[in-house]
Structure 1
């Protein structure tokens, strides 16, 4: 049986996909270890990451938007927020003139725990990135934006309710 030889592009594609899978698994394991070591549910960690990213963008989440972001019902979202608030990882704030609007912020005690745990990882990633030029990093950034967009689009498609 004839088998076409892989092109260099095919080889690179296969290796990149394998590396992305490995990275994803390792990142999940690190997150799981953090969650376990601080008595958090896996969804609690997802919630914390969503709150941290939103806050970093300058657009803090409301409980409703958090639930949408991580796919939880209103009740499950409230339970996760309550757990995270009790543990000092999150705080509810009222920053709007409409006092009914609640925003979620990363709590200082939770931030301190995250920095202690993830700080060494930040140093390791900085050590990796220092070996790349700004142009290399810009290419990686563009690639990862594209891959994240593709993954998000796929997630939206597979979680959408099926018609019929």
Structure 2
């Protein structure tokens, strides 16, 4: 029995996310990190690209961790030289989190070919196709956010 095209696309998306998760896990294990550490770095890099100030509280909220768990992640990443705590120039009482250049280089070395290949693939698409892919992926993120973490256990 042939699945409807919508379910075929859903299963392709699931396969991509599973494969990407495996690669993140391999990257974490190879570099002495937890998978949560990799997620933290991704969140911090996304914040940097968006111009968002990342504090420990902000990171904890992104990761769904309490303050003790967040501190453990930050401490591990700092010990590994992937993260720095820096004082906010505008409010010296506030501490911001910054991904170190060496961590970015490590990520580029591991994920650069995947990023480059994905960018090259998307360049084969016309504007409308790229817009459709963006709309689809954004919509899936909205659905997942509305569904909330932990709902898969129901």
Using the size of structure 2 for normalisation, the TM-score is 0.91
Taking the TM superposition and a 5 Å limit, the aligned residue runs for 1:75-90 are 75-90=68-83
Taking the TM superposition and a 5 Å limit, the aligned residue runs for 1:8-157 are 11-155=4-148
Q: Which consecutive segments of 4 or more residues in structure 1 shift more than 2 A?
A: 156-159
3-state SS, counterpart of residue 25 of structure 1: helix
Q: Distance in 2 between matches of 1:71 and 1:47?
A: 11
Give the superposition deviation at 1:156: 5.3
- Unpaired stretches in structure 1, ≥5 consecutive residues: 160-164
Q: Distance in 1 between matches of 2:93 and 2:106?
A: 30
Alpha-carbon RMSD across the aligned residues, in angstroms, is 1.8
The 1:35/1:157 distance shift into structure 2, 3 A limit, reads closer
3-state SS, counterpart of residue 4 of structure 2: helix
The answer to whether the 8 Å contact 1:88/1:108 transfers is: no
Q: Distance in 1 between matches of 2:145 and 2:137?
A: 12
* Cα deviation code 1:25-50 (max 9, x no counterpart): 01101111111110101111111111
- Unpaired stretches in structure 2, ≥5 consecutive residues: none
Q: Which residue of 2 aligns with 1:162?
A: none
Q: Distance in 2 between matches of 1:24 and 1:52?
A: 19
Number of paired residues?
Answer: 152
Using the size of structure 1 for normalisation, the TM-score is 0.86
